[in-house]
Amino acid sequence: MTDRPTNTPGRDTGSGISRRRLFGAVGAGAVIAGAGAVAGRATGPDDTGVAAHGVVDFRGEHQAGIVTPAQDRMHFVAFDITTTDRAQVVAMLKTWTEMAARMTAGLEATEDGATGDGAYQAPSDTGEALDLDPSQLTLTIGFGPSLFDDRFGLAPLKPAALQDLPHFPADNLDPTRSGGDIAIQACANDPQVAVHAIRNLARVAFGTASVRWSQLGFGRTSSTSTAQATPRNLFGFKDGTNNLKAEDPDALSESVWVAGDDDQAWMAGGSYLVARRIRMLIEQWDRAVLKEQEAVIGRDKREGAPLGQTTEFDELDLESKGPDGPFVPVTAHVRLASAQHLGGIRILRRGYNFTDGSDGFGHLDAGLFFIAFCRNPLDQFVPMQLELARSDALNEYIQHVGSAVFACPPGLRDGEYWGQSLFEA
Amino acid sequence: MTDRPTNTPGRDTGSGISRRRLFGAVGAGAVIAGAGAVAGRATGPDDTGVAAHGVVDFRGEHQAGIVTPAQDRMHFVAFDITTTDRAQVVAMLKTWTEMAARMTAGLEATEDGATGDGAYQAPSDTGEALDLDPSQLTLTIGFGPSLFDDRFGLAPLKPAALQDLPHFPADNLDPTRSGGDIAIQACANDPQVAVHAIRNLARVAFGTASVRWSQLGFGRTSSTSTAQATPRNLFGFKDGTNNLKAEDPDALSESVWVAGDDDQAWMAGGSYLVARRIRMLIEQWDRAVLKEQEAVIGRDKREGAPLGQTTEFDELDLESKGPDGPFVPVTAHVRLASAQHLGGIRILRRGYNFTDGSDGFGHLDAGLFFIAFCRNPLDQFVPMQLELARSDALNEYIQHVGSAVFACPPGLRDGEYWGQSLFEA
């Protein structure tokens, strides 16, 4: 796979500003140049120094949107395939690929698609991103276990690692927020750019696939690069301090990327995406005292230091004890989710905060849309979540209400289309 | 009211960066200084030149968040009062005011509230905005018609202009997304800052008020300043070209601010907020041909020029005709909503795009959360909406599913609390 180019997060290209037609070259250049200094500051604790307005390469060894420094906003969609015609699915994937390559480059979904198709045709781009920057849009595709049933002849190619997740204790899953044949994760620093991308892909899928569920995330809850500050989740705690980072390729090879001899060959260089919609019972949480909150998490609230330590990146020491026992309680979230506790298991978290109106009982419907990438969910996410579901003190304050798993194939070479390694295997 | 300070949108103050404790003074200063050049570019077509990270004054002649240049993101909440004790409501309003003044200045809701209340108390700030900039947060309060029933003795003070909106043709209102005793509009350039503010206000309301409904808006659809570029709604069209602007104080006095002799004295300097959740049937729209879309709106899609004209800000000329009749069709949205057509009626629009998951039928639940401010909804919004509801070609592609109206009192002098002009009238 050495002939595949490497994704370049945040690379600015000439094409990166071509969607913004209202700007002269001088003005646009000044904005892009200035953006490097303050990238992400407008919208979150992001100090990556990459250009928040720029282009992330669509093609490369791996799909973008996995170890790409987490953008600030997300729109995630799961589709049901509504046809049994395999050729129609492949045709959709080819169309999607062309559109995705254009939109991630900051272009309309099709050439002059918003207005140039002729006055008496429906526009092939819906237009709401016409004046917006590329905003580091990434589009990441995954295939769910249900795609490998008997409809499309894909059953022999189903990876052993791609199984519906088991029922975990206290799961309260809504089937209308779970599963799906195909998922697309859109991440960008402008939510309108992410929504535009998903909406246009959904539009051309008409007759082949329909939206099963979708989720908007307004704020990232994980860093995936050492250059990013750690954001906070809606419990007010820094989240993802010990996350895997793009700068640690050995750990990514160990825990995120599927190796050539792991399973089905078409997944080599890919990864598995686990999505969990986690409702946070924020009203209950907000009535818990600070000591309780910190004991539940296992870190202090302001600094994010492991209990018993002083700064955020101090090593998590599960053995350290005070007069009342271990500094990090035996039911603390960070203990149970830690590699130390789990025999070395690590995953790449890439989740987002959400707030979706109210729940009808006087509360906000808010929480964390958890996304994780791992090399094998059965070996990594499942044992981790089993441990958490059984023992995590946090369970008093959260409820898992949606769940899905998808196989994300490797990145694309020039000319390849999404799913080619699977459909032409 | 000459002793009231004027709101200063985007003013940067020393206090404006005090929430961001992770930054040294030099780093923070550099970010703020740089922000002026690229303000808003990270997240939308905003060329206001104001500092997207900065502070908007909470107190002033009018409430902030009305003619303040529209921020990029919004969280709107409507509350039901759950007590019949007037003193309890006043106490909540006083607490809210202190918190709102702090949070809009970029501070925790209470001093050191996230961690400083003592380890064995529940934190009085939920913490998720600890590291974030002020982000031009504005909090705007309004009182609904139902607040003036017999519970709190306010009936004699109900403005004649504050009436539940009439049923308009084709309204399909969901009562759980409509009405409310009190509303708070939070706008900011960082959604997490807006959500944090609403969540903390809702938290301390426990026992006095509960969330009736809430709405997250991810992208502004209106400009309220001549310095802002016109954004696009989810139909892909520029929206709000002819909106009232902060730079036209005569028009604001005429159409937005309640005058001293208009109605109840406590509303002098205030305004009325109309909220409408407008579901856009985007799948139907996306299948309409470009000519049809442009005829429905009355403007061309790419430039936003009135039909028959060439650039966005060319005057809307309802009389201009081509060989096939008027360039702007008689059922076009911009014609029916125009001051020319409506005998001079104008309103200040300040809406946001939304996408709230899917509708269970394979479609995205997306649309426009319409917000308008006007001096008298009965004289302005109601006749305008009646005309639109009867004749607008756009009705084929939209559905009004939520509705509310609120009386927003004037701004606060130092020491005043939200609603003081009403509760101490």
Note the pLDDT tens digit of each residue in B330-362: 999 999 999 999 999 999 999 999 999 998 888
Distance CA B4, CA B12 (A): 19
pLDDT tens digits, residue range B120-129?
Answer: 899 999 999 9
Phi then psi dihedrals of residue A166, to 5 deg: -70, 165
Q: Quick check: B402 contacting A, CB < 8 Å?
A: no
ipTM above 0.95, yes or no: no
pLDDT value of position B300: 96
Let me know whether B98 and B140 are in one domain.
yes
Chain B from 124 to 143: CB within 8 A of any A CB = 125-133, 135
Q: Please judge whether B302 and A53 are an interchain contact, meaning their C-beta atoms are less than 8 angstroms apart.
A: no
Label residue B13 by pLDDT band (50, 70, 90).
very low
Q: Quick check: B171 contacting A, CB < 8 Å?
A: no
Q: Which of A122, A235, A301 sits opposite B289 (nearest CB)?
A: A122
Helix (H), strand (E) at residue A315: none
Let me know whether B100 and B240 are in one domain.
yes
Is the pLDDT assigned to residue B405 strictly greater than 90? yes
pLDDT tens digits, residue range A65-115?
Answer: 999 999 999 999 999 999 999 999 999 999 999 999 999 999 999 998 999
Q: What is the DSSP letter of A255?
A: H
Are the CB atoms for B394 and B279 separated by under 8 Å? Answer: no
Answer whether residue A16 is part of any domain. no
Q: Please judge whether A123 and B290 are an interchain contact, meaning their C-beta atoms are less than 8 angstroms apart.
A: yes
Query: Residue B225 in 3-state DSSP?
Result: coil
Q: Which of B211, B235, B290 sits opposite A119 (nearest CB)?
A: B290
pLDDT value of position B41: 31
Mean of the pLDDT values across residues B265-278? Answer: 98
Q: Please judge whether B45 and A190 are an interchain contact, meaning their C-beta atoms are less than 8 angstroms apart.
A: no
pLDDT tens digits, residue range B216-254?
Answer: 999 999 999 999 999 999 999 999 899 999 999 999 999
Share of chain B above pLDDT 70, in %: 88
Answer whether residue B169 is part of any domain. yes
Q: Which of B229, B290, B363 sits opposite A121 (nearest CB)?
A: B290
Is the pLDDT assigned to residue A31 strictly greater than 60? no
Is the pLDDT assigned to residue A2 strictly greater than 70? no
Token pair for B361: 């039928």
Tell me the C-alpha to C-alpha distance, in Å, between residue A347 and each of A244, A382, B150, B224.
7, 11, 57, 45
Let me know whether B388 and B419 are in one domain.
no
CA atoms within a 13 Å half-sphere pointing along the CA-CB vector of B15: 14
Label residue A11 by pLDDT band (50, 70, 90).
very low
Let me know whether A418 and A369 are in one domain.
no
Mean of the pLDDT values across residues A186-206? Answer: 97
| Least confident residue range of A269-278, A378-387, B24-33 | B24-33
Q: Quick check: A233 contacting B, CB < 8 Å?
A: yes
Answer whether residue A417 is part of any domain. yes
Distance CA A122, CA A110 (A): 12
Q: Which of B34, B39, B286 sits opposite A126 (nearest CB)?
A: B286
| Least confident residue range of A46-55, A60-69, A126-135, A248-257 | A46-55
Q: Which residues of A touch B198 (CB under 8 A)?
A: 364
Q: Which residues of B touch A229 (CB under 8 A)?
A: 22, 131
Chain A CA closest to residue B121 = A289
Probe site for chain A from B192, B206, B213, B228 (most A CB atoms < 10 A): B192
Answer whether residue A38 is part of any domain. no
pLDDT value of position B119: 84
User: Which one, of A132, A263, A275, A109, lies nearest residue A198 by Cα?
Assistant: A109
Chain A from 182 to 211: CB within 8 A of any B CB = 189-192, 195, 198-199, 202-203, 206, 210-211
pLDDT value of position B30: 30
Distance CA B331, CA A130 (A): 26
Q: Please judge whether A114 and B203 are an interchain contact, meaning their C-beta atoms are less than 8 angstroms apart.
A: no
Distance CA A232, CA B110 (A): 19
Q: Quick check: B234 contacting A, CB < 8 Å?
A: yes
Label residue A51 by pLDDT band (50, 70, 90).
low
Let me know whether B414 and B400 are in one domain.
no
Q: Please judge whether B290 and A22 are an interchain contact, meaning their C-beta atoms are less than 8 angstroms apart.
A: no
Let me know whether A104 and A205 are in one domain.
yes
Helical ranges in B205-281 per DSSP H: 249-255
Let me know whether B126 and B141 are in one domain.
yes
Q: Which residues of B touch A135 (CB under 8 A)?
A: 42-43
Distance CA A383, CA A319 (A): 22
Q: Please judge whether B214 and A355 are an interchain contact, meaning their C-beta atoms are less than 8 angstroms apart.
A: yes
Q: Please judge whether B235 and A128 are an interchain contact, meaning their C-beta atoms are less than 8 angstroms apart.
A: yes
User: Which one, of B225, B215, B262, B286, lies nearest residue B10 by Cα?
Assistant: B225
Q: What is the DSSP letter of A71?
A: P
How many structural domains does chain A have? Answer: 2
With b for 16 or more beta-carbon neighbours within 10 A and e for fewer, the B255-275 pattern comes to bbbbeeebbbebbbbbbbbbb
Let me know whether B135 and B252 are in one domain.
yes
Q: Please judge whether A43 and B43 are an interchain contact, meaning their C-beta atoms are less than 8 angstroms apart.
A: yes
Let me know whether B265 and B291 are in one domain.
no
Task: Tell me how close the Cα of B257 comes to any Cα of chain A, in angstroms.
Answer: 30
pLDDT tens digits, residue range A133-185?
Answer: 999 999 999 999 999 999 999 999 999 999 999 999 999 999 999 999 999 99
Q: Which residues of A touch B233 (CB under 8 A)?
A: 128
Mean of the pLDDT values across residues A273-302? Answer: 96
Answer whether residue B13 is part of any domain. no
Let me know whether A229 and A143 are in one domain.
yes
Task: Tell me how close the Cα of B283 comes to any Cα of chain A, in angstroms.
Answer: 7
Q: Please judge whether A290 and B119 are an interchain contact, meaning their C-beta atoms are less than 8 angstroms apart.
A: yes
Q: How many CB atoms lie within 10 A of CB B356?
A: 20
Chain A from 317 to 376: CB within 8 A of any B CB = 353, 355-358, 360, 362-364, 366
Q: Which domain holds residue A258?
A: 57-269+410-423
Q: Which residues of A touch B123 (CB under 8 A)?
A: 236, 286, 290, 293, 301
Helical ranges in A150-275 per DSSP H: 191-204, 249-255
pLDDT value of position A99: 98
Mean of the pLDDT values across residues A266-270? Answer: 98
Mean of the pLDDT values across residues B180-198? Answer: 98
pLDDT value of position A378: 98
For the stretch A291-295, contacts whose Cβ atoms lie closer than 8 Å and that sit 24 or more positions apart, written own/partner, are A291/B119, A291/B120, A293/A235, A293/A236, A293/A237, A293/B123, A295/A329, A295/A332, A295/A393
pLDDT value of position A324: 86
Q: Quick check: A219 contacting B, CB < 8 Å?
A: yes
pTM of the full predicted structure?
0.90
Is the pLDDT assigned to residue A48 strictly greater than 50? no
pLDDT value of position A119: 83
Tell me the C-alpha to C-alpha distance, in Å, between residue B276 and each of A191, B76, B174, B396.
21, 12, 11, 17
Share of chain A above pLDDT 70, in %: 88
Q: Please judge whether B362 and A123 are an interchain contact, meaning their C-beta atoms are less than 8 angstroms apart.
A: no
Mean of the pLDDT values across residues A348-374? Answer: 95
Answer whether residue A14 is part of any domain. no
Helical ranges in B298-406 per DSSP H: 333-336, 381-391
Task: Tell me how close the Cα of B382 comes to any Cα of chain A, in angstroms.
Answer: 26
Are the CB atoms for B232 and A128 separated by under 8 Å? Answer: yes
CA atoms within a 13 Å half-sphere pointing along the CA-CB vector of A177: 18
Q: Which residues of A touch B45 (CB under 8 A)?
A: 22, 131-132
Q: Which residues of B touch A130 (CB under 8 A)?
A: 232, 236, 302
Helix (H), strand (E) at residue A370: strand A364-374
Answer whether residue A10 is part of any domain. no
CB pairs under 8 A between A and B: 278
Point out which residues pair with B275 in neighbouring strands. Answer: B371, B404
Pairing of strands A352-358, A364-374: antiparallel
Answer whether residue A131 is part of any domain. yes
pLDDT tens digits, residue range A140-153?
Answer: 999 999 999 999 99
pLDDT tens digits, residue range B357-385?
Answer: 998 888 899 999 999 999 999 999 999 99
pLDDT value of position B118: 82
Mean of the pLDDT values across residues B23-30? Answer: 30
Label residue B51 by pLDDT band (50, 70, 90).
low
Distance CA A94, CA B372 (A): 43
Q: Which residues of B touch A204 (CB under 8 A)?
A: none
Let me know whether B248 and B288 are in one domain.
no
Phi then psi dihedrals of residue A19, to 5 deg: -75, -25
Let me know whether B308 and B398 are in one domain.
yes
